[in-house]
Chains A and B, each alone.
Chain A
Amino acid sequence: DTAVSQTPKYLVTQMGNDKSIKCEQNLGHDTMYWYKQDSKKFLKIMFSYNNKELIINETVPNRFSPKSPDKAHLNLHINSLELGDSAVYFCASSQGVQGRSDTQYFGPGTRLTVL
């Protein structure tokens, strides 16, 4: 009964390629997020969707495009991959009640390696 799942767990690819990471949550939450964790373990928010609407779009290259087909899914597509994109990408979800910061539950992470 995985609450937040991500596929794939590992992704190794060449520079210049386009790749996608998928995320699904079965918690019935309204809000989903993408975070990037760099090699120094620093975690930073990238995007967030609430009921399929984009509510957070941090300073991220426009090669990164999130897509939320429904509130249970938030995918991350990356164009023209660069070496600096190598990181672990975490998806998370929360209830997202207005005016309250609920606990975010994280997926297992996707380790992206760009060669």
Chain B
Amino acid sequence: AQKVTQAQTEISVVEKEDVTLDCVYETRDTTYYLFWYKQPPSGELVFLIRRNSFDEQNEISGRYSWNFQKSTSSFNFTITASQVVDSAVYFCALSEAGSGTYKYIFGTGTRLKVLA
């Protein structure tokens, strides 16, 4: 069965620190997709990244980077030099291509607090 685990419920860091948010997934499909979304205090869900199971290259976008490792079924998200505006709940999600329904299975989210 498909499952996404975000074991860190809440993380607090001081501004300018680096922080890594963990995401571990379970799936039996060989083709699947992983996503990260940000939910700031205003409540909307903002798309950050999509990665398919055949692309294990790490990705960097400004201060954000993602490390995808199929061997450990993990898709971790690192924020470098964190800022107060990074304070949000971050969700990891999994979608299996074989399901034919495109539905996401979300993790329970990690609340990140960046203190000034």
Q: Which residues of A contact B (CB under 8 A)?
A: 31, 33, 40-45, 48, 50, 55-56, 88, 90, 92, 94, 96, 98-106, 108-109, 111
Output the least CB separation between B53 and chain A (Å): 10
Query: How far apart sit A109 and B43, CA to CA, in the bound complex (Å)?
Result: 7
User: What chain A residues lie within 8 Å of B43 (beta carbons)?
Assistant: 88, 108-109, 111
Q: Which of B35, B96, B97 contacts A103 (CB 8 A)?
A: B35
User: If the complex has contacts A101-B96, A101-B97, are A48 and B103 also in contact, measured as CB distance less than 8 A?
Assistant: yes
How near does chain B come to A106, taking the closest CB pair, in angstroms? Answer: 4
Note all chain A residues with C-beta closer than 8 A to B44: 106, 108-109
- Residue among A31, A42, A105 making CB contact with B108, cutoff 8 Å: A42
Decide yes or no whether B66 CB sits under 8 A from chain A. Answer: no
Question: What distance in Å separates the Cβ of A95 from its nearest Cβ neighbour in chain B?
Answer: 9
Q: Is the CB of B102 within 8 A of A41?
A: no
Q: Are B96 and A43 in contact (CB under 8 A)?
A: no
Q: How far is the CA of A106 from the CA of B6 in the complex (A)?
A: 21
Residue of A41, A98, A102, A106 most packed against chain B (CB within 10 A): A41
Check B50–A33 contact: CB distance below 8 A: no
A75 to B109, CA, bound (A): 27
Number of interface residues of B (CB under 8 A): 24
Contact residues in A for B33 (Cβ distance below 8 Å): 100-101
Is the CB–CB distance between B100 and A99 below 8 Å?
yes
User: Which residue of the partner chain, among B32, B37, B96, B102, contacts A102 with CB atoms under 8 Å?
Assistant: B102
B25 at the binding interface (Cβ < 8 Å): no
Knowing that A41-B89, A100-B97, A104-B104 touch, tell me 7 more A-B residue pairs with CB under 8 angstroms: A41-B111, A50-B102, A55-B102, A101-B102, A103-B35, A103-B50, A104-B102
Q: How far is the CB of B107 from chain A (nearest CB, A)?
A: 9
User: Do A43 and B100 touch across chains, with their CB atoms under 8 A apart?
Assistant: no
| 0 or 1 for each of B13-32: is its CB under 8 Å from A? (1 = yes) | 00000000000000000001
In the bound complex, CA of A88 to CA of B42 (Å): 12
- In the complex formed, the residue of B with least CB distance to A96 is B102
